Structures are given as structure tokens and as C-alpha cells.
């Protein structure tokens, strides 16, 4: 009996450009023919196959807003990460990879959402949240939005060109950076982990029924989600994505 | 690849091969402890040789998925139910 035809198929994606975001993170600009478009927060599976048939795959968040056949992924180098090592060290403009998607319907932001939005990122967890900021900008959605972004040092800020430009990424997006190991000299905030008091100040009042998105390493995501619940936020409106 | 824990969001691709709706947005109830959450919030280990999704409340196994060259094996015996959001009919 013939098997069911897979509903989701692998497509060839060609690297057309790349940008180094930090010493360990690189954005890959891919051209994916017949790309159906995506929602901010969705991801793709990337599959690599060696000449001997060995195959491995990994899920990556999309960094860009929907824009024709162009899809951007930001890859953080992971120690012993065979997919990330290949994508950062060997993948060159003109090369192809296999990709399927977009997938995921939970950790997504829709352009018609006018609820106040709090985006909380730990490290490379900023990737799907940046897609949300870019999708807001593309949709000219001016609802309240704040990004709280925690990273170790100033050189670890992914999308610094976009986030730190004068006026911020968008007039309606407030950006708060939390440097945990070393802060820039200009920062009024000393280096250190985000405190409960800071999150309480940056979170939107619960009366506004905000939508909260938290993405980052597991321990970071759990701590932030627990604090938001303690502040009275509806757990159904705290959407999380974790890795590591 | 480092063996690390991800969450149920990472299952979206494999589940989309089998189901027509996005199952990661469904609510799942654990048959062991009754904890109920989105499939996206399960603790997922894998994806090789397969993905194992555990309850964030008690770590019981709720879903196991193995994809071979020709088949997808889905074991849901740890799941009491899946509640899938659908557009009003």
C-alpha cells in the first residue's frame, strides 16, 4: 500500500546573502521558491544530508517578516552543534540546503493583534521576537510593544543595527537591554541579571490584557514566565519557546 | 548535535507531516498527573533517533515520534486527550 503523501515537503533553499550579527551568530538570507509566506514566530526545519546519505535536521526560528521568497534565519553557533557549525563555517552564497515550513502555530504573533505586547528575550531567543518587531513594522501596527532583551555583553547583541539605531527599530517599540556580564560604559544600568523589580516595571499592567512572549534558554524562560504569573498575568497569554 | 532539551514548538514540522492542523497549539492532558498545557510547552528530547515529549509537571512521557524513511511512528499512550482549536463551524 502506498504511504500517505507527506503534507509538508522539503524544498531547496539557496543562500543569497549573509550577515554576521555577533562573533557567534550569523544571519542567512535564503531564497525559497514558492515560499507561501509565514507568521512572525514560526520556524523551519533545516535538513543536511551528507554524500554518504547521513542526514540530520534542526529547527530554526525565522528572523524576518514575510517578504516574498526571501526568508532569513539567524544561526547561533552551538558547541558540538553539527548543523550550526556547517551553516556558520561552510555554507556559502549560492549553496543550497533543504528546508521545510513554515511550521508552528503557538508561538506566533499576528499582524492584526492590537493588544499590548511584551517580548522577553534571553540570548538568541531574540530571533523570533525580532521577526515580530519586523512584522509589526511591515504592517504599520503601532500597538504598545516593549522588547526586554537579556544578553551577556554588548558584543552579544544580535540585530544591534536594527535595535540600537536612533529612535529604535520602530517608534512604537520600547527596547530595554539587560547586560548580565558586562554593560557598555554609557549604560545607566550595571551588569547583572534582570531582577523581579525590573520585570515588574517593564511588564504591561495586567488590566491591559497584554500578550507576553518569552524565548530563550530553559531556565531563563521558566524564571520569566513564573514571575509574570506572580505579577498576575493570565498564563494563557504567556507564550514561551525554549531551547538548550 | 548536542542533546539538549527543546520544547514542543520543535515538533511542529514532524507533526505537520501527519496532521492537517497545527498540533503544537493544541492543549494536551497528561494521563499520569492531569497537568494540562499546550503541546508547545512539553519538554522535548531528540530529535534523533526520535523525539520524546514529556510532561512539564511530572516528566511522564506523553508523546513519542520516530520518523523512518517510509513511516512516522506516533506513540501517544501517555496522553489522556488532545484538545485541538478549530475554527467555529
Alpha-carbon distance values, B28 to A103, A107, B82, B85 (Å): 19, 16, 5, 11
Please give the C-alpha separations between residue B79 and each of A131, B46, B49, in angstroms, as whole numbers: 33, 19, 21
The answer to whether A93 contacts chain B (CB < 8 Å) is no
> Which among A241, A199, A207 has a CA at the least distance from the CA of A224?
A199
In the predicted model, is pLDDT for residue A160 greater than 90? yes
C-alpha separations of A111 from A38, A40, A132, A239 in Å: 11, 9, 9, 16
Point out which residues pair with A242 in neighbouring strands: A216
Average pLDDT (A226-244) is: 93
Q: How far is CA B68 from CA A32, A54, A55, A77, B48, in A?
A: 26, 13, 12, 28, 11
A146-172 average pLDDT score: 92
* pLDDT tens sequence across A50-81: 899 888 888 899 999 999 999 999 999 887 78
Closest to A214 (Cα-Cα) out of A126, A105, A112: A126
More confident residue, B67 or A215: A215
Considering only the beta carbons, identify the residue of B1, B12, B14 that sits closest to A81: B1
Q: List domains and CATH numbers for chain A.
A: 2-103 (2.40.30.10), 117-243 (3.40.50.80)
Q: What is the mean pLDDT of residues A215-228?
A: 96
Q: Cell digits for B80?
A: 489522556
CA distance A8 to chain B (A): 5
The string of pLDDT tens digits covering residues B28-70 is: 999 999 999 999 999 999 877 899 999 999 999 999 999 888 9
Contact A103 B5 (CB under 8 A): no
Model confidence over A8-30: pLDDT tens digits?
Answer: 889 999 999 999 999 999 999 99
Q: Is the dihedral of CA A141, A144, A150, A155 positive or negative?
A: positive
CA distance A82 to chain B (A): 5
Which tens digit of pLDDT belongs to each residue from A117-137?
Answer: 999 999 999 999 999 999 999
DSSP state at residue B47: S
> pLDDT tens for residues A161-177?
999 988 888 888 999 99
CB atoms within 10 A of CB A126: 28
- Assign A116 to helix, strand or coil: coil
pLDDT at position A244 is 62
CA–CA distance, A168 with B78 (Å, rounded to integer)? 47
Given pLDDT bands bounded at 50, 70 and 90, which one contains residue B4?
Answer: low
The SS3 of residue A78 is coil
Contact residues, A window 215-244, toward B, CB-based 8 Å cutoff: 218, 239-244
Taking the C-alpha atoms of residue B46 and residue A173, their distance in angstroms, rounded to an integer, is 36
Chain-chain contact of A242 with B6 (C-beta, under 8 angstroms): yes
pLDDT confidence tier of residue B6, bands split at 50, 70 and 90: confident
Q: Is the ipTM of this complex over 0.90?
A: no
Interface of B with A in 38-67 (CB under 8 A): 38-41, 47-48
Residue A180 C-beta-side C-alpha neighbours within 13 Å: 14
Specify the pLDDT at position A53: 87
State how far the alpha carbon of A161 is from the alpha carbons of A99, A136, A146, A169, in Å. Answer: 27, 18, 17, 9
CA–CA distance, A55 with A70 (Å, rounded to integer): 25
Q: How much is the pTM?
A: 0.93
Whether omega for the bond prior to residue A225 falls within 30 degrees of 0, making it cis, is no
Alpha helices in chain A, H assignment, sequence order: 82-89, 126-139, 160-163, 196-202, 218-230
Amino acid at each position: 500500500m502506498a504511504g500517505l503523501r507527506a503534507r509538508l515537503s522539503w524544498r531547496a533553499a539557496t543562500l543569497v546573502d549573509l550577515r554576521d550579527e555577533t562573533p557567534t551568530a550569523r544571519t542567512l538570507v535564503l531564497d525559497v521558491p514558492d515560499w507561501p509566506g509565514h507568521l512572525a514566530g514560526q520556524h523551519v526545519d533545516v535538513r543536511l544530508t551528507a554524500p554518504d546519505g547521513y542526514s540530520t535536521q534542526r529547527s530554526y526560528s525565522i528572523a524576518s517578516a514575510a517578504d516574498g521568497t526571501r526568508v532569513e534565519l539567524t544561526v547561533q553557533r552551538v558547541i558540538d552543534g553539527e548543523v550550526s557549525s556547517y551553516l556558520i563555517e561552510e555554507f556559502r552564497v549560492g549553496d543550497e540546503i533543504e528546508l521545510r515550513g513554515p511550521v508552528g502555530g503557538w508561538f506566533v504573533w499576528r499582524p492584526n493583534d492590537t493588544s499590548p505586547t511584551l517580548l522577553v528575550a534571553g540570548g538568541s531567543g531574540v530571533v523570533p521576537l525580532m521577526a515580530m518587531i519586523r512584522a509589526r513594522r511591515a504592517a504599520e501596527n503601532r500597538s504598545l510593544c516593549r522588547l526586554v532583551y537579556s544578553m551577556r555583553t554588548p558584543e552579544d547583541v544580535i540585530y544591534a543595527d536594527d535595535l540600537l539605531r536612533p529612535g529604535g527599530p520602530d517608534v512604537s517599540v520600547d527596547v530595554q537591554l539587560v547586560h548580565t556580564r558586562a554593560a557598555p560604559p554609557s549604560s545607566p544600568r550595571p551588569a547583572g541579571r534582570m531582577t523581579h523589580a525590573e520585570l515588574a516595571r517593564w511588564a504591561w499592567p495586567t488590566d491591559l490584557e497584554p500578550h507576553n512572549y518569552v524565548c530563550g534558554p530553559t531556565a531563563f524562560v521558566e524564571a520569566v514566565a513564573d514571575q509574570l504569573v506572580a505579577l498576575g498575568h493570565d498564563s494563557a497569554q504567556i507564550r514561551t519557546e525554549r531551547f538548550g | 548535535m548536542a542533546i539538549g532539551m527543546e520544547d514542543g514548538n520543535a515538533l511542529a514540522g514532524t507533526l505537520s507531516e501527519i496532521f492537517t492542523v497545527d498540533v503544537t497549539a493544541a492543549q494536551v492532558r497528561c494521563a499520569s498527573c492531569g497537568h494540562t498545557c499546550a503541546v508547545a510547552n512539553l519538554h522535548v528530547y531528540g530529535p534523533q533517533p526520535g523525539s520524546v515529549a514529556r510532561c512539564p509537571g511530572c516528566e511522564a512521557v506523553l508523546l513519542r515520534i520516530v520518523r523512518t524513511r517510509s513511516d512516522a511512528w506516533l506513540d501517544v499512550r501517555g496522553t489522556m486527550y488532545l484538545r485541538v482549536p478549530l475554527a467555529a463551524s
